[in-house]
Amino acid sequence: MITLKGETILLRALEPTDLDYIFEVENEESLWEVGSTITPFSRFILKEYIDNSYRDIYDVKQLRLVICKNDNHLPVGLIDLYDFDQRNLKVGVGIVIFPDKEKQKGYAFEALNLVTKYAFERLNVHQVFAGITEDNVGSIRLFEKAGFVRNGIKKDWTFSRGVFKDEYFYQLIK
């Protein structure tokens, strides 16, 4: 799908060979806050998830894509479309670059641009939205650079490590 290929990265569907990578990402405790989980995932559960990832976004309301380098096809992150609402023409987006050594190379910006273009052109949504905690400065910069606008604040929305954090609501409207 040419829509999902950029200059340095491509976005592709999950493959069975991604199990070890997904296991590592999903069980990285520092990412649990953004993923809204508090428990580790087993290989069995993640294998089941990958085995069912062929299901259509119109059916399961989400789509996870692997961010890979164009030159060697190694994964450097994941980008998710979630809470797909066909009636109201909107979808959420979340992104993680992993491991940390792959951050600050432009992969997230390129992936975010590719997936929003896909959402607008292929899913025909009117808007793409994201929730970002107030202390996630890197994500705030990324989404604002990609044209997202902060349109709201959810006060004390996330409780993490004994502290409540505000969550900013970002939108990119077609």
pLDDT in tens, 153-165: 999 998 888 999 9
Looking at 33-47, 93-107, 127-141, which range is the least confident one? 33-47
For residue 121, give its domain range.
Answer: 2-173
Report the SS3 class of residue 61.
Answer: coil
pLDDT tens digits, 98-115: 988 999 999 999 999 999
SS (H, E, C) 85-125: ECCCCEEEEEEEECCHHHCCCCHHHHHHHHHHHHHHHCCCC
Domains held by the chain: number: 1
Residues 106 and 6: their CA atoms lie apart, in Å, by 11
- Percent of the chain, pLDDT > 90? 76
| Model confidence at 26: pLDDT above 90 | no
Domain of residue 42, CATH code:
3.40.630.30
The pLDDT assigned to 54 comes to 85
> Confidence class of residue 30 from pLDDT cuts 50, 70 and 90?
confident
pLDDT tens digits, 36-76: 677 788 889 888 988 888 899 999 999 999 999 999 999 99
| Model confidence at 21: pLDDT above 60 | yes
Closest listed residue to residue 23, CA positions, set 37, 8, 44, 6 = 44
Is the pTM here over 0.85, yes or no?
yes
The pLDDT assigned to 34 comes to 67
Looking at 5-14, 49-58, 67-76, 140-149, which range is the least confident one? 49-58
What DSSP designation does 5 have? B
